[in-house]
Every structure is written in structure tokens, then in C-alpha cells.
Amino acid sequence: MENFKETDLKQLRPGLWATVNERYPGSMITKTDFVPLARLKKPLPESRIAFISTAGVQPKNSLPFDTVHPVGDYTFRRVPSRSKPEDLEIHQLKYPTVGAKRDLNVIFPIERLQELTEEKIIGELAPNFFSFIGYNMDALKLEQTLAEDLADAVEAEKPDGALLAPA
Amino acid sequence: MSLNYLNEAVESGDTEQLIRYVRLHFGDGNEKNGRKEIDKAWIEALKLLLDVPATDREFILKTLGEKDAATLAHLFFHLHFYFVGRSGEWIHDGEL
Amino acid sequence: MMGHHFGVPRHKELQRRIILEMLDFLTTATRSGEVKMLPLKWANARQEGKEIERRLELKEV
């Protein structure tokens, strides 16, 4: 199996990358160490799938994400995968939530994933999905704290595969 | 990393870079908007005090006296968005 | 589109298609870091979404 080579590195949207780096200096980092490709070990109809999102989606009445902190919030929330959209809310300042307010599935497609499971296209959903906010200005802390904590929490759900979605 | 950038600015006393960062945060990446947002929050706070309403100064003094500076700094950021929200003019794409 | 990575409100078919593409990629990706671009246009998605909402609103009346 061919793995990613450093020579293949290509910034898909260099203009956007430069703009964000200008507005939030140093916040855009370059990663050159790609993890090996991990394949599903079971067919999808037998697999347990997790979903992880930076959309800042959380159960109502859970501690809101800290959207005001100048350096960001390095916590995550568990979102029970059986939740209904009306049980959830978004705390996130930095992306347009106009569509999500009318239909959460545009950014956190929980109902579509539930339907695909009912139809047996997906074996089952992990008991919890996960969400955090993307405004994190300390990339090292993001990697060493949030990403590590989140990886442990996801692994505890014993998924066979995970879908990761930005906001 | 952005935090390193800010720490370097603190060490070198580059206050312009620090306030620029705050403006960018409040202005969702637009410094000019950030300036307006800071003004908006102060204007809203001022308007609320013009009639000299009774306020809970005991709470204020107790909070300032008892809470650590970092918590108060965090509160300061919360208050900014609180007053911007009260102004009725919300420029941000999402919600607190 | 930022904030709308799974499409537009109430366009279930599009939301579902995007997820299925993601799931398909779990098994078809050939190497780490590979990117698959979908032949979808935001303008078309918005137009279809508006049409769906118009039909749904007509039904609800």
C-alpha cells in the first residue's frame, strides 16, 4: 500500500490558508507526518461507526463551550448518538450556523447516520458522538491535550471506523 | 503556533500585536470590525449607567477582591460579548 | 461551504449522499492523505434546497 509522500504535499486552498494565517497569525500549521492508512476490518454493515465534529454541538444543559476565551477551549462533549436534534445545541462563534439552526444535519448529520443504521448500511453507531470547537490558538495544546483525550474517549467506544467532519 | 506568537509579543512588549489579536478575535478575523465591536460593548455599558441605577457594588467589590486575576480576565471577555449581545447588533456567524 | 459540510437544510438526499461518499472512502481510499473531491456545486445545492423547502412548505399549508 502506497503511503503519502512529503513531495505530494499540496495546499488545496492556498489563498484561504494565507488569509487565515494573516488574520490569526501562526494558527495554521503544516503537518508532514501522515499516519498510515487504516482500513475497515469488517464490512460496513457489521461495523460500529463513530462521528467526530468541530461543530461545537452539545447536549442541551451541558456546560457550553467557551467561545469567548481568546486562546480557545480544549474540551470536548459527548453527544449520545441516539439524540434528536432538538436535544442538542451549538455553541460556536466562528462559522455560519444559519443552516444548522434550521436543520442540524447540515453540519452534524445525526439523523442521517441514524437512518443509515436503521437501513443496515451501517452496522451500528458508537454510543456517543463527539464534538469540540475549532477556535484553538494553541496548536500544541490542541494536539497534546484535546486530541489525546478525545482519541482515548473515542477508542473507549470501540468503533471500527470514525468519520471526522470540520465545521 | 499562535500562542508562541502572542508570548513573543508579550516578551518583546509588542502591545500593538497583542491588541490586534484581541480585535481579530472580537471582529471574527476582521480588525476593523473588532475595533467597532470593542466600542460597541463600552457604549452599551455606558448607556446602562447613565440614569445611575442601583447596582450591586457589594457583589462587584467582593468579586474583585476574592477572585483571581485570570478568572477576572476571563470574565472581562465574557462581558464584552454580553454587552455586544445586548446592543442588538450581532456580527458573529454563530452563537455564544 | 463553511458551516454546511453536509449540504443544505432539509435536503436529506444530498446529506445522505455526502455521508455515503465518506463511508465509501473508508474502503476505497488507497493511501493516507488522499483527497476525494465530489462533483457537487454549492449553487446547485442551494437551488435544490430552496425547491425542497418550497415543496415542504406547500405540503404543510
Neighbour subunits, A (≥3 Cβ pairs < 8 A): B, C
Q: Is residue B93 part of a domain?
A: no
- Residue A30 or residue B7, greater confidence: B7
Instruction: Provide the residue range defining the domain that includes B83.
Output: 2-87
Considering only CB atoms, B25 lies closest to which of A70, A97, A141, namely: A70
Contacts of A29 in chain B (CB under 8 A): 1
- AA letter at C22: M
- Residue A8's pLDDT is what? 65
CA distance A70 to B6: 11
C33 touches chain A (CB under 8 A): yes
- Number of folded domains in chain C? 1
Q: Do the Cβ atoms of A133 and A73 come closer than 8 Å?
A: yes
Looking at every residue in chain A, the average pLDDT score rounds to 91
Instruction: Give tens-digit pLDDT for B3-16.
Output: 888 899 999 999 99
CA C41 to chain centre: 10
**Are the Cβ atoms of A56 and B94 closer than 8 angstroms?**
yes
Please tell me which residue of chain A has the smallest CA distance to B3: A138
In a domain, B96, yes or no: no
Task: Check if the beta carbon of residue C25 is closer than 8 Å to that of residue C32.
Answer: no
Q: Is ipTM over 0.95?
A: no
Which chain A residues touch C34 with a CB distance below 8 Å?
Answer: 4
Q: How does DSSP assign B7-58, residue by residue?
A: HHHHHTT-HHHHHHHHHHHHTTT-HHHHHHHHHHHHHHHHHHHTT-----HH
pLDDT band at A35 (very low <50, low <70, confident <90, very high): confident
Q: Find which of A19, A35, A105 to mutate to test the C interface (most C CBs within 10 Å of its CB).
A: A105
**pLDDT per position as a tens digit, A143-154:** 899 999 999 999
The parent domain of residue C42 ranges over 1-29+38-61
Confidence of residue C58 (pLDDT cuts 50, 70, 90): confident
Q: Which positions ≥6 away from A109 have C-beta within 8 Å?
A: A51, C6, C15, C18, C19
Residue B6, φ and ψ in degrees, nearest 5: -70, -40
For chain C, which chains pass the contact test of at least 3 CB pairs under 8 Å?
Answer: A
Distance CA B31, CA B37 (A): 10
Chain-chain contact of C5 with A97 (C-beta, under 8 angstroms): no
Nearest-10 Cα torsion for A120, A123, A129, A130: -120
Q: What is the DSSP string of A109-161?
A: -HHHHHHHHHTTSSSEE-SEEEE-BS-B--HHHIIIIIIHHHHHHHHHT--SE
Q: What percent of chain C has pLDDT over 90?
A: 75
Inside any domain, residue B15: yes
Percent of chain A predicted with pLDDT > 70: 95
Cα-based torsion angle of the residue sequence A72, A78, A83, A86 in order, rounded to the nearest 10 degrees: -20
| DSSP one-letter code for B67 | S
Q: For residue B30, which residues of chain A lie inside 8 Å, CB to CB? A: 23
| Per-residue pLDDT at B93 | 87
> Buried b vs exposed e over B61-77: b needs ≥16 C-beta within 10 Å?
eeeeeeeeeeeeebeeb
Interface of B with A in 23-42 (CB under 8 A): 24-25, 28-30
pLDDT at A25: 74
Longest pairwise C-alpha distance within chain B: 46
Interface of A with C (CB under 8 A): 1-4, 8, 12, 34-37, 39-40, 44, 49, 95-100, 102-103, 105-107, 109, 112-113, 115-116, 121-122, 161, 163, 165-167
- Under the banding of pLDDT at 50, 70 and 90, the label for residue A34 is confident
pLDDT exceeds cutoff 60 at A159: yes
- Whether residue A7 is predicted with pLDDT greater than 80 in this model: the reply is no
Domain count, chain B: 1
To the nearest whole Å, the CA of B66 is away from the closest chain A CA by 21
User: A8-12, B5-9, C34-38: which range is least confident on average?
Assistant: A8-12
Q: Is residue B20 situated within a structural domain?
A: yes
Report whether pLDDT(A76) > 70. yes
Binned at pLDDT 50, 70 and 90, residue A6 comes out as low
DSSP H or E stretch at residue A77: strand A77-80
As a whole number of angstroms, the distance between CA C49 and CA A128 comes to 29
End-to-end CA distance of chain B: 25
CA dist list (Å): A165 to A25, A66, A130, B30: 24, 20, 10, 25
Helix (H, G, I), strand (E, B) or coil at A51: strand
B92 touches chain A (CB under 8 A): yes
Contact across the interface for B81 and A90, Cβ inside 8 Å: no
**What is the dihedral sign for C-alpha C15, C20, C25, C28?**
negative
Tens of pLDDT along A99-131?
A: 999 999 999 999 999 999 999 999 999 999 999
Which residues in chain A have Cβ-Cβ distances shorter than 8 Å to C2?
95-96, 167
Residue A1: the pLDDT is 47
Q: Is the pLDDT of residue B70 over 70?
A: yes
